[in-house]
């Protein structure tokens, strides 16, 4: 226990600094960064109720910022595994701080664009019993015939015929 003479007028240990959160937020996670004895930066996630209290012995450089885990999955939640008691952000399976709540998660699901409509034309081969397909993906046309591989501009007679149909 810290003696009375080692506390400041607010009751906190002398030398402690405070980083105050936004009003209304009681419990939060912080990313605390400081220098170790070799001068290298070290970061860790800490839990604090109210202001973050930082005492002496954390090196010459100290920084703290509000921390939130990020989830890009369309579904998310927190799960505690009974075997090891650790908490995970699911379905990403990121191990999180034990005091993490849903308010500590920034959820930005990935927006999937609607697929481009693909048109397809089938042509019968003039030399064999096989069939060739011309597919349109956006503005690009591709054909499965060997003529499209041989042509310098990759436009076989099937692609040229489809281009006439489209225009």
pLDDT over threshold 90, residue 123: yes
pLDDT at residue number 121 = 92
Strand pairing partners for 41? 35
pLDDT at residue number 10 = 44
Query: Which token pair is 81?
Result: 């595994």
Domain ranges of the chain: 4-67, 70-107, 118-166
99-120 per-position pLDDT tens digit: 888 888 888 877 777 666 678 9
pLDDT at residue number 115 = 67
pLDDT over threshold 50, residue 13: no
pLDDT at residue number 27 = 67
Query: Which token pair is 67?
Result: 């921390």
Q: For residues 107 and 60, give the distance between their C-alpha atoms in angstroms, rounded to a whole number.
A: 35
Contact (Cβ atoms closer than 8 angstroms) between residue 121 and residue 160: no
Start-end of H helices in the chain? 146-150, 157-166
Instruction: pLDDT band for 143, please (50, 70, 90 cuts).
Output: very high
Instruction: pLDDT band for 26, please (50, 70, 90 cuts).
Output: low
Q: What is the pTM of this model?
A: 0.48
pLDDT at residue number 6 = 45
Contact (Cβ atoms closer than 8 angstroms) between residue 69 and residue 100: yes
């Amino acid at each position: 226990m810290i003696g009375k003479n080692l506390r400041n007028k607010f009751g906190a240990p002398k030398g402690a600094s405070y980083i105050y959160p936004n009003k209304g937020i009681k419990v939060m996670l912080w990313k605390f960064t400081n220098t170790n004895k070799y001068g290298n930066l070290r970061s860790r996630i800490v839990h604090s109720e109210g202001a973050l209290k930082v005492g002496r012995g954390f090196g010459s450089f100290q920084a703290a910022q509000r921390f939130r885990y990020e989830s890009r999955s369309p579904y998310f939640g927190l799960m505690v595994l009974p075997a090891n008691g650790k908490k995970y952000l699911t379905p990403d399976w990121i191990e999180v701080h034990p005091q993490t709540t849903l308010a500590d998660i920034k959820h930005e699901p990935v927006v999937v664009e609607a697929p481009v409509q693909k048109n397809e034309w089938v042509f019968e081969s003039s030399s064999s019993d096989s069939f060739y397909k011309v597919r349109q993906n956006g503005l690009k046309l591709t054909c499965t015939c060997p003529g499209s591989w041989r042509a310098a501009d990759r436009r076989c007679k099937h692609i040229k015929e489809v281009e006439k149909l489209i225009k």
